[in-house]
Structure 1
Amino acid sequence: MSPETVAVVVVTFNRADLLVGMLDGLATQTHAPDAVIVIDNASTDHTREVLDARTDLPLHVTTTQSNLGGAGGFHLGVRAAYDGGYDRVWLMDDDVVPAPECLERLMAVDEDCLIAVREDLAGLLVEKAAVDFDLRNALAIKPKRASVDSTYADRASMPALVEVHNVAFEGFMARRRVVEEIGFPDPSFFIFYDDVDYAIRAREAGHHIWAVRDAVLVRQLDFNQQHDLAGWKGYYMYRNLFVVHLRHGENALVRIKPWLITLVVVLLSPLRGGRAEARNVIRAMAAARGMRRLTDPALPPR
């Protein structure tokens, strides 16, 4: 059989200096990618100059007219990889750097859905993919009950493959047949939870997702998941979390949870986020109701 082809999809926005390191990592892979599809989300820094200089990679660059968010960028990139006929697609953010053997380690695993395992600049395990993502228990405040890095002390203590329930679009790989079955990342998410939604859709279709211990991805920035819930990011965090529950909740009580969260946030708003957070969560709940079905652009190719 012929070796499988693989396209890397990179989404970037105004982080040209980080993008340089990411592309350097791709250029040193022991298994060279067949294509590197870069979605530049209308960057206004020197991203264009960085990309124009990379004659050492098989770049295919799309510059959008406006910022489509990570979700919109990955939607475009996965669609381009699918239309290009590649056997696998490997999704990558602009703030991670793959170790030289990362792609080779992934391609050696005969599974449909994989993730590389992230570490920080000090070599500490920081893989946040959930090993237990609970959409059954309505009393679970957060569906992520355990992650790779909360389960294993370090990379050495992990087995070679660890099954995970969700992913980040930083090192996630899927075969072409997965896209054919479940479709594309949903661009309507804009940011946050588009990767979670995609992983759940893959699992609902019967696919397992495996974290590959020896596929190393180095994160260049610290995780900052403490966003201002009264600001614009807070709106998307609430809305998209609610969408995940409405689409994928395994029982009626879990699907009711977004309404209960909205009520609690509004009642507690005088003590925490104030009117701004209350407005965010009310708007988020109203918008999430209209996103209960997968949007047409994300449907499987016909």
Structure 2
Amino acid sequence: MSEGLRETVAVVVVTHNRADLLVGMLDGLAAQTRRPDAVVVVDNASTDRTGEVLAARTDLPLQVITQDNLGGAGGFHRGVRAAYDAGWDRVWLMDDDVVPAPDCLEVMMGVDADCLIAVREDRSGALVEKAAVDFDLRNPLAIRPKRATVDSTYADRASMPELVEVQNVAFEGFMVRRDVVTEIGLPDPAFFIFFDDAEYAVRARRAGRRIWAVRDAVLVRQLEFNQQHDLAGWKGFYMYRNLFVVHLRHGENPLVRLKPWLIALVVVLLSPVRGGRAEARNVIRAMASARGMRRLTDSARPPR
């Protein structure tokens, strides 16, 4: 028996006002051929019927944590901490809008590696795995660090090798061993949404941990990807700020660490013809906030 098959595993799910999607995801966990040892659901102050859905799930080893809406980052921080404190060997992070294939967890537990991701597809079976195979924090001219993804590199799942090394992750099927958390810490709750997962992957790789996408671990997204966020709206602030934080913390040379300032300047200068005042205000606020986030938040540091 492989080491992974002897290990224990807790699933951490973060949810907010998506009870119907949560039902499908929990059904998927209940149908696993290798059942999880614990399912930690962090409810970010849902006001729909999420509480009723969770109360009815006597078929799963459920632990429910209810908190204020601290975003996906705050939810994963709290959930991973709870799983770590409970002593589980691995933690599998999951969003509420995906459904794992019945053998997904069994396949992943059979891979002896510290950091893994399940490979996402949409409901039609098309490959939609956006994890980066090239996440560039060296080139100051690379506006977006994500240069190539699994689904831009491979036409479909069948054309992938069994394991594909990736350089960033989504907290949507990411699995991490306990000793990685001991070494690098927890997801940073200060991100609120966006880039908390990418930043965590950078920390893991800087600590010498390789991250592998497992071809045969199938995770099905129930919603289409929306990569085009309103940069003038409230999400735009977090998109800009957290992208800047990743560069300020982990840029591999001074020019890359200066890139956020250049991006902010360009956005402001172009605002009369592109983006408008609201986006300009967002990027100025984002740059000011990012400067105060150069260091990892204290609560995300390695557990003591």
TM-score by length of 2: 0.98
The partner residue of 1:285 within 284, 287, 290 is 287
The partner residue of 1:46 within 46, 49, 70 is 49
> Aligned runs of 1:136-155 on 2, under 5 Å?
136-155=138-157
Three-state SS of the structure 1 residue aligned to 2:240 is helix
1:122 maps to 124
Name the CA distance, whole Å, in 1 between partners of 2:227 and 2:47. Answer: 25
2:181 maps to 179
Three-state SS of the structure 2 residue aligned to 1:212 is strand
> Aligned runs of 1:69-148 on 2, under 5 Å?
69-148=71-150
Shift of 1:142: 0.9
Structure 2: which amino acid aligns with 1:22? M
Three-state SS of the structure 2 residue aligned to 1:82 is helix
Shift of 1:15: 0.2
1:254 maps to 256
List runs of 5+ in structure 2 lacking aligned partners: none
> CA offsets, 1:162-184, max 9 Å, x none?
00000000000000000000000
2:222 maps to 220
> Quick check: 1:19 aligned with 2:22?
yes
> Aligned runs of 1:207-246 on 2, under 5 Å?
207-246=209-248
List runs of 5+ in structure 1 lacking aligned partners: none
Structure 2: which amino acid aligns with 1:23? L
Name the CA distance, whole Å, in 2 between partners of 1:227 and 1:146. Answer: 20
Name the CA distance, whole Å, in 2 between partners of 1:281 and 1:131. Answer: 28
> CA offsets, 1:257-301, max 9 Å, x none?
000000000000111211100000000000000000001000001
> CA offsets, 1:124-177, max 9 Å, x none?
000000000000000011111100000000000000000000000000000000
> Aligned runs of 1:147-166 on 2, under 5 Å?
147-166=149-168
Structure 2: which amino acid aligns with 1:284? A
> Aligned runs of 1:267-286 on 2, under 5 Å?
267-286=269-288
> Quick check: 1:59 aligned with 2:59?
no
Shift of 1:250: 0.2
Three-state SS of the structure 2 residue aligned to 1:71 is helix
Q: CA RMSD in A?
A: 0.7
Moved over 2 A (4+): none
Shift of 1:105: 0.4
Structure 2: which amino acid aligns with 1:90? W
Shift of 1:35: 0.1
Structure 1: which amino acid aligns with 2:139? N
Name the CA distance, whole Å, in 1 between partners of 2:140 and 2:275. Answer: 24
Shift of 1:119: 0.1
TM-score by length of 1: 0.99
Name the CA distance, whole Å, in 2 between partners of 1:296 and 1:141. Answer: 29
Three-state SS of the structure 1 residue aligned to 2:134 is strand
Shift of 1:215: 0.2
Structure 1: which amino acid aligns with 2:30? A
Name the CA distance, whole Å, in 1 between partners of 2:222 and 2:273. Answer: 35
Determine what percentage of the aligned residue pairs are the same residue. 82
Name the CA distance, whole Å, in 1 between partners of 2:182 and 2:39. Answer: 21
Three-state SS of the structure 2 residue aligned to 1:44 is coil
Shift of 1:211: 0.1
> Quick check: 1:3 aligned with 2:19?
no
> Quick check: 1:35 aligned with 2:38?
yes
> CA offsets, 1:67-120, max 9 Å, x none?
010000000000000000000000000000000000000000000000000000
Structure 2: which amino acid aligns with 1:152? Y
How many residue pairs match? The answer is 301
Shift of 1:225: 1.3
Name the CA distance, whole Å, in 1 between partners of 2:96 and 2:158. Answer: 26
> CA offsets, 1:226-249, max 9 Å, x none?
010000000000000000000000
Structure 1: which amino acid aligns with 2:91? V
